[in-house]
Amino acid sequence: MQTYDRLVTVFGGSGFVGRHIVRALARRGFRIRVAVRRPDLAGHLQPLGMVGQIHAVQANLRYPDSVRQAVAGSEIVINCVGILYETGRQKFDSVQARGAAMVARAAAEAGARLIHLSAIGADAESKSLYARTKAAGEAAVLKEVPDAVILRPSVVFGPEDDFFNRFAGMAQMSPVLPLVGGGETKFQPVFVGDVAQAVMAAVDGQAKPGAVYELGGPAVKSFRELMDFVLATTQRKRLLVPLSFGLARLQAKILQLLPKPLLTEDQVTLLESDNVVGEAAKVEGRTLDGLGIHAQSVEAVVPTYLWRFRRQGQFTAPVG
């Protein structure tokens, strides 16, 4: 019977990016402790590994003792906890700034290596609270664990993503799709599997200690180009309507009141800046290429899961 001697704790391992990291770790023979707020909702992770290889435990970034217990005995700690909007007690500061500091402190006390997932656009001077708390989290991580590896992905795509799936779903119901800021904001979408491989590279020691890596896909695309791609892939004709940042912010005041907001004021602020890999990261090799990872394109992956938004699903006749 195979034994799994090396223990890795993954905070947020039941989420979109986290589950791909857990699967990659399982394939490499690690024992994985998944630290989540609701272990009872993490059962979908069990088939990703062998019997007993993956174990979900309760941990909340607002409670230091639960974090320390989740980290105890781990060789490596991976933090991929993050939120796109605030709800209840889940605030940007408590999750992405103070929460990241708490995980880093626990990792330092346990003598564990730390890999921290942040986001492109993290900036202490940003007008966006999301971006400022991401930057605060990075600073706290490097203060507690100076040799930690920080990974900043652009928009992450994959079968369960909240980007392409969201807009494809909107196109099913709405005759128009809004282009915030005219659709000129640039993105560099990165495949979730490539993000997981970047984490594995850091686990294997291929990443420079204390470095910040920016992860983007092979192509930079505008928001308008991405919406055109969604419509072409789902074979739907919809009107793309440019929406100024000011008008989008007014609409967001209402939309952010929904239980799962379609748009928030902070997200509008984020859209005022491009979300692409910086030149410094490219020059210094702090990218997917620098980690020896060949990035998958949007065109190669997204159609494999957006087909369900076509009128007849997989039975829809191909175009061309």
Report DSSP letters for 223-248, one per residue.
HHHHHHHHHHHHT---EEEEE-HHHH
Instruction: Compute, in degrees rounded to 10, the torsion defined by CA atoms 136, 140, 145, 146.
Output: 60
- 32-70, pLDDT tens digit by residue? 999 999 999 999 999 999 999 999 999 999 899 999 999
pLDDT of residue 259: 87
pLDDT of residue 1: 41
- 271-310, pLDDT tens digit by residue? 999 999 999 999 999 999 999 999 999 999 999 999 999 9
Report the distance separating Cα 27 and Cα 48, nearest Å: 8
| Domain boundaries 7-147, corresponding CATH code | 3.40.50.720
Report the distance separating Cα 197 and Cα 201, nearest Å: 6
Q: What is the pTM of this model?
A: 0.95
- 110-128, pLDDT tens digit by residue? 999 999 999 999 999 999 9
Read off the tokens for 253. Answer: 């005041």
